[in-house]
Amino acid sequence: MEYEVVNNSDQAIVGQAVPSYGPARAAAFFKKIECFCFTPQTLAAGERRRMPVLFVLDRTMDQDVHTVTLSYTFFDIGTKARVSGVPRASPHG
């Protein structure tokens, strides 16, 4: 399976994709072998990229689950990384 990711901004972004599963109970049976969500991704301004996900669903999943939805939220972690590098004042003066 592939997801298409687009950076609609005018600047590069470093992001981390976090998966969500529907129904939530399917997560326990969802085994990702390869996923862009394993590592931060850098996208240039305006870049469009197809990112693969290789997975299997465990056969022991509840038989009444007929559809599993995998979605991702892409969080900007570049700002956080820059902020965490800023020295902070010591609480001891």
Q: Say if residue 92's pLDDT is above 90.
A: no
pLDDT for res 68: 92
**For the chain, what is the domain count?**
1
pLDDT for res 22: 94
In a domain, residue 23? The reply is yes
In a domain, residue 40? The reply is yes
Segment 53-80, tens digit of pLDDT: 999 999 999 889 989 999 999 899 886 4
In a domain, residue 16? The reply is yes
Q: Which domain holds residue 38?
A: 2-58+66-84
Helix (H/G/I), strand (E/B), else coil: 93 = coil
Question: What DSSP element (H or E) covers 20?
Answer: strand 13-22
Nearby residues of 6 by Cβ (< 8 Å), 6 or more positions away? 47, 48, 49
- Max Cα–Cα distance, the chain, nearest Å: 62
In a domain, residue 17? The reply is yes
In a domain, residue 92? The reply is no
In a domain, residue 24? The reply is yes
- Sign (positive/negative) of CA torsion 73, 77, 79, 80? positive
pLDDT for res 78: 81
In a domain, residue 90? The reply is no
CA dihedral 40, 31, 62, 17 (to 10 degrees): 10
Segment 29-48, tens digit of pLDDT: 999 999 999 999 999 999 99
In a domain, residue 93? The reply is no
